[in-house]
Amino acid sequence: MAIVMIAAFLLVIGGVRMLRRKEDRGRGLLMLGAAAVLVANVLIWTV
């Protein structure tokens, strides 16, 4: 689970950096969505 949380953190950082660029907004949103899914999975696994 720790590796998944590190991956989610890195996806958020990468997604925010891509959102700042005008041409990569779609990829940035997808990265943020993937991070949200990973965090939701960790929350489900811990309950």
pLDDT in tens, 1-47: 999 999 999 999 999 999 998 888 999 999 999 999 999 999 999 98
Q: What is the pLDDT of residue 42?
A: 96
Residue 32: give the domain boundaries: 2-46
Domain count for the chain: 1
Residue for token pair 């949103």? 29
Q: What is the pLDDT of residue 37?
A: 97
CA proximity to 19, closest of 28, 10, 11? 28
Q: What is the pLDDT of residue 9?
A: 98
Q: What is the pLDDT of residue 22?
A: 83
Tell me if 18 sits within 8 A of 27, measured CB to CB: yes
Q: How many residues would you count in the chain?
A: 47
Q: The whole model's pTM is what?
A: 0.88
